[in-house]
Amino acid sequence: MMVCPVRDCHLPLVREERRVVCARGHSFDVARSGYINLLQPQQRRSKSPGDTPRAVAARRRLHDRGVTAPLLDGIAEMIGAAASDVVLDAGCGDGFYLGSLQRRAGFEAHGIDISTRAIDLAARQYPECEWIVANADRFVPYSDRSFSVVMSITARMNPAEFRRVMRDRGRLLVALPAPDDLIELRGVGRDRAERTVESFAPQFRAVNRHRVATVAELDAAAVDDVLVSIYRPMRAQPVEAMRVTFSLDLLLFQLC
C-alpha cells in the first residue's frame, strides 16, 4: 500500500525490521517511536516544516482537557467509520482525531503530516496506527485506491491525490473552521464551506453537511494554549480566563 516517494519511482515499499525499502533500493528508516519519514528535501520550504513543537504541545493539552471531545463526536457521527474501513487522515497533526476514532471503531488507520514533531507525538500516543511524515500537498505516498475513507480536518486539501487514493465507493470528510470558530479571540471568520464544495466539485459531490460546535470555559493557561496553537501568541492585553467557542463545518463527499 505504501509507495516510494522518490520522484519517478513510486514502487511499493516493503517493511523490514527497522526500515522500509523499494525494489530500486530507496530506503527509509523507521524511527524509534514507530513513524516513517518519507519527506523529500524538495518537498519542504524549511528545515522544520509544519507545526512548531510549541504549537503541537499546546494543541495536545487542549485535547487532553477534553475541549475538543464534542468536535470528535461530531466527526465520528458524520463519518460512520466501521472496523472494515481503511482510513487516511491527511494533515493529521498529533493524531488526536484519527487515533481516537480508530480506538472507537477498530479500523486500519494511516496518518500523514509534514511536521516531524507532530507525527512523533502521534506515534507515541497511538502506536496501533501507521504514521508517516510526508507532504500530502504534493503527493500522498500510497497506492491507488488504498482507502475507503479519507479525512482532512482543518488541514490543507489535495483533491486530485485524495481522488487517486480513494476506493470507488469511498467517502471523504473535510472539516473546516466555521465562521464562529474562536470568535472571541479572532473575530468572525470566513464561511469557506461553499468554496470548498466548489473546489472538490469536478471529482466529488457533497452528500452531507453539518456544523458542530462547543463552548468551553478556559482558564488563562488554556486560552494561551489556544493562541499558541493558532500562531497568535501575542496580545495587547494579558491573557485571562474566558469562554471560547470551537466550531467546525463538516462536509462529507463521495466520488462523482
Per-residue pLDDT tens digits for 209-250: 999 999 999 999 999 999 999 876 555 567 899 999 999 999
CA angle 14, 18, 24 (to 5 degrees): 40
pLDDT computed for residue 132 by the predictor: 98
On the question of pLDDT at 44 being above 80, the answer is: no
Distance CA 198, CA 250 (A): 15
pLDDT tens by residue, 72-81: 999 999 999 9
pTM for the structure as a whole: 0.94
Identify the CATH number of the domain defined by range 31-255.
3.40.50.150
Q: Give 3's DSSP letter.
A: B
> Are 185 and 228 within 8 A, CB to CB?
no
Distance (Å) of CA 7 to CA 4, 22, 26, 38, 134: 8, 13, 11, 12, 13
pLDDT computed for residue 51 by the predictor: 86
Amino acid (one-letter) located at 43: Q
More confident residue, 47 or 41: 41
